[in-house]
């Protein structure tokens, strides 16, 4: 039994927070390329019960996290019925589902991008069955992470062929969802490498362009992950902001990562706290921008050093840090000095001339008296702004 959370803990998770975990996250037994499992394999029903006790709202799954590969229809029926009961008993929902297209050797050289049409067919069929399962469990988002869609010996296929096969697969599956009348959207998750030497469509930016080439692009968005964009050396906050601006942030995988390392999938906020703060500020819209309304999914796992108790501390830590950062972001964006420093510099005379070309506007630009040296001498006040952010993050402001 987990130790009860302290009464009136303002950082205790609530269903309104929409915190979710995958079965594979808190169920991670601690196996890695250099060592065996250190924790027992947990049954899905136990994970659901424990996540509910921690205050989580939802639980996500790959098809084979619940229904073992190769199960018969009867076994599938029994397993799914039992899982639905555990969800009802715990008051948990399934916001997202996905397909495991990376564990079985059949996918060793890709799933949708395999050179073998039989493998591509197997991957499509497995995904259709995974979508059926996700819809049956109430999922509204279906994630595609192409962990094996890549290469080491790059002469193995023309990368353009790989992209074309990926497009064929997503277009086919979008049409399947429409044909079935399912109410579910797709979210594509990028990763630059691991387990393949290079993975196609390696960043959220690549995915956003790829989506624009699809037949049913309106039902496809992205599922950015902190660790994956960080592995690529990119700003996760900027990638998520571009997805939000394009109205394509359909889901998000929250965790933590040190740059230059393998995919660590660490507890949310446990590494780059400044970026975690800025991400929560962006998602929650505390600075006045559009708020992300989807699940806050922690695609992460406890350190291999941990026992079962450590796993649930990990889960609570993810959610608690997120809620503490929400409070810190609200504090920062309600600070009058901060609001002055980040205020938009509007200029009633110039602003209208900068958008919507016309010859009159071009002439107006030419006529403007703009002193580049004076503009260059102006200080931006960002040292003060960033210090204020640090002080709000550290809880010393407001005083
Ligand atoms: C890894 O980051 C991937 C898989 O765990 C899963 O397919 C997806 C959903 O969160 N993330
Ligand atoms: Mn992920
Ligand atoms: Mn990851």
Residue 4, pLDDT above cutoff 70: no
Residue 312, pLDDT above cutoff 90: yes
Spacing of C-alpha 391 from chain mean position: 28
What's the rounded mean pLDDT across residues 102-128? 98
Best residue for ligand 1 mutational test, from 107, 145, 191, 196 (most atoms within 8 Å of Cβ): 145
Catalytic member of 9, 32, 62, 109: 62
Q: Are residues 226 and 325 in the same domain?
A: yes
Q: Are residues 265 and 346 in the same domain?
A: no
- Which of 347, 96, 339 is CA-nearest to residue 222? 96
Task: Tell me the per-residue pLDDT of 257-266, one tens digit each, with 9 for 90 and over.
Answer: 999 999 999 9
- Which of 191, 116, 121, 107 is CA-nearest to residue 157? 116
Q: Are residues 272 and 353 in the same domain?
A: no
Residue 28 CA, ligand 3 centroid: distance in Å: 13
* Nearest bound ligand to the CA of residue 102: 1
Taking 3-state DSSP, the helix, strand and coil percentages for the chain, each rounded to the nearest 5, stand at 50, 10, 40
Residue 241 CA, ligand 2 centroid: distance in Å: 18
User: CA angle at residue 102 from 271 to 222, to 5 degrees?
Assistant: 55
* Ligand 1 atom 1, closest CA: 145
Residue 2, pLDDT above cutoff 60: no
Which numbered atom of ligand 1 lies nearest the CA of 25?
5
Which numbered atom of ligand 1 lies nearest the CA of 143?
9
Q: Is residue 150 part of a domain?
A: yes
What's the rounded mean pLDDT across residues 330-343? 95
Q: Are residues 198 and 89 in the same domain?
A: yes
Please tell me the least confidently modeled range out of 5-9, 17-21, 136-140. 5-9
Mean of per-residue pLDDT scores for the chain: 96
Whether the Cβ atoms of residue 254 and residue 224 lie closer than 8 Å to each other: no
Q: Is residue 5 part of a domain?
A: no
From the number of C-beta atoms within 10 Å of its C-beta (0-12, 13-18, 19+), residue 117 rates as: exposed
Q: What is the C-alpha to C-alpha distance for residues 19 and 55, in angstroms, rounded to an integer?
A: 8
Task: Tell me the per-residue pLDDT of 161-205, one tens digit each, with 9 for 90 and over.
Answer: 999 999 999 999 999 999 999 999 999 999 999 999 999 999 999
Structural domain for 96, as ranges: 15-331
Please report which helix (H) or strand (E) contains residue 186, including its range. Answer: strand 185-189
Q: Is residue 1 part of a domain?
A: no
Q: Are residues 267 and 185 in the same domain?
A: yes
Task: Tell me the per-residue pLDDT of 357-389, one tens digit each, with 9 for 90 and over.
Answer: 999 999 999 999 999 999 999 999 999 999 999
pLDDT band at 214 (very low <50, low <70, confident <90, very high): very high
Residue 88 CA, ligand 3 centroid: distance in Å: 29
Residue 62 among the catalytic residues: yes
> What is the tally of structural domains in the chain?
2
Residue length of the chain: 399
pLDDT band at 45 (very low <50, low <70, confident <90, very high): very high
Q: Are residues 231 and 348 in the same domain?
A: no
For residue 5, the model assigns a pLDDT of: 53
For residue 352, the model assigns a pLDDT of: 87
Whether the Cβ atoms of residue 299 and residue 253 lie closer than 8 Å to each other: yes
Q: Are residues 322 and 340 in the same domain?
A: no
Order across the sheet with 19-22: list the strands.
220-222, 185-189, 141-145, 96-98, 58-62, 19-22, 296-298, 253-254
Which numbered atom of ligand 1 lies nearest the CA of 227?
2
Domain holding 260: CATH number? 3.20.20.150
Whether the Cβ atoms of residue 283 and residue 241 lie closer than 8 Å to each other: no
User: CA angle at residue 95 from 92 to 98, to 5 degrees?
Assistant: 120
* Ligand 1 atom 3, closest CA: 145
Q: Are residues 135 and 197 in the same domain?
A: yes
Q: Which two tokens stand for residue 351?
A: 């602003």
pLDDT band at 1 (very low <50, low <70, confident <90, very high): very low
For residue 7, the model assigns a pLDDT of: 62
User: CA angle at residue 65 from 42 to 252, to 5 degrees?
Assistant: 105
- Which of 55, 64, 57 is CA-nearest to residue 27? 64
Q: Are residues 310 and 358 in the same domain?
A: no
Which numbered atom of ligand 1 lies nearest the CA of 265?
2
Q: What is the C-alpha to C-alpha distance for residues 204 and 275, in angstroms, rounded to an integer?
A: 17
Q: Which residues' Cβ are closer than 6 Å to ligand 1?
A: 22, 62, 98, 143, 145, 189, 225, 253, 299
Whether the Cβ atoms of residue 101 and residue 148 lie closer than 8 Å to each other: yes
Catalytic member of 63, 65, 253, 265: 65
Which numbered atom of ligand 1 lies nearest the CA of 100?
7
Best residue for ligand 1 mutational test, from 100, 253, 318 (most atoms within 8 Å of Cβ): 253
- Which of 349, 345, 395 is CA-nearest to residue 375? 345
Find all residues with CB under 8 Å of 92, minimum gap 6, and list them: 48, 51, 52, 56, 57, 58, 59, 86
User: CA angle at residue 323 from 320 to 327, to 5 degrees?
Assistant: 135
For residue 70, the model assigns a pLDDT of: 96
**Long-range Cβ contacts of 3-11 (<8 Å, 24+ apart):** 5/55, 5/316, 10/323, 10/327, 11/320, 11/323, 11/324, 11/327
What's the rounded mean pLDDT across residues 127-152? 98
Q: Are residues 137 and 271 in the same domain?
A: yes
Residue 351 among the catalytic residues: no
For residue 344, the model assigns a pLDDT of: 79
Maximum Cα–Cα distance for the chain, whole Å? 78
* Nearest bound ligand to the CA of residue 229: 3
Return the percentage of the chain with pLDDT > 90, whole number.
95
- 92-116: string of b/e by CB count within 10 Å (b at 16+)? bbbbbbbbbbbeeebbebbbbbbee
Q: Is residue 72 part of a domain?
A: yes
For residue 6, the model assigns a pLDDT of: 57
């Amino acid at each position: 039994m987990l130790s009860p959370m302290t009464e009136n803990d303002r950082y205790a998770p609530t269903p309104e927070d929409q915190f979710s975990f995958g079965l594979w996250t808190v169920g991670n037994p601690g196996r890695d390329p250099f060592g065996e499992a250190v924790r027992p394999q947990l049954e899905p029903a136990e994970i659901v019960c424990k996540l509910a006790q921690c205050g989580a709202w939802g639980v996500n799954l790959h098809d084979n996290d619940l229904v073992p590969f190769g199960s018969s229809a009867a076994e599938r029926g029994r397993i799914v019925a039992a899982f639905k009961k555990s969800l009802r008993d715990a008051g948990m929902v399934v916001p997202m589902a996905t397909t495991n297209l990376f564990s079985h050797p059949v996918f060793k050289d890709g799933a949708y991008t395999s050179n073998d049409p039989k493998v591509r067919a197997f991957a499509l069929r497995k995904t259709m069955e995974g979508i059926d399962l996700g819809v049956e469990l109430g999922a509204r988002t279906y994630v595609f992470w192409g962990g094996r869609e890549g290469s080491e010996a790059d002469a193995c296929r023309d990368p353009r062929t790989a992209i074309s096969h990926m497009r064929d697969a997503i277009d086919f599956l979008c049409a399947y969802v429409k044909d079935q009348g399912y109410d579910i959207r797709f979210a594509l998750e990028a990763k630059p490498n691991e387990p393949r030497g290079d993975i196609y469509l390696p960043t959220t930016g690549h995915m956003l362009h790829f989506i624009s080439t699809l037949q049913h692009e309106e039902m496809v968005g992205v599922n950015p992950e902190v660790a994956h964009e960080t592995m690529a050396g990119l700003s996760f906050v900027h990638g998520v902001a571009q997805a939000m601006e394009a109205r394509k942030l359909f889901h998000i995988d929250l965790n933590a990562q040190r740059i230059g390392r393998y995919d660590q999938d660490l507890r949310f906020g446990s590494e780059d706290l400044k970026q975690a703060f800025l991400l929560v500020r962006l998602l929650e819209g505390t600075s006045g921008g559009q708020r992300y309304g989807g699940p806050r999914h922690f695609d992460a796992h406890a350190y291999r050093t941990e026992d079962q108790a450590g796993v649930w501390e990990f889960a609570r830590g993810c959610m608690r840090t997120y809620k503490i950062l929400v409070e810190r972001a609200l504090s920062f964006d309600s600070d009058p000095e901060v609001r002055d420093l980040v205020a938009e510099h509007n200029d009633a005379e110039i602003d209208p001339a900068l958008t919507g070309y016309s010859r009159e506007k071009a002439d107006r630009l030419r006529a403007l008296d703009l002193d580049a040296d004076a503009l260059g001498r102006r200080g931006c006040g960002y040292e003060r702004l960033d210090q204020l952010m640090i002080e709000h993050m550290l809880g010393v402001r407001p005083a």
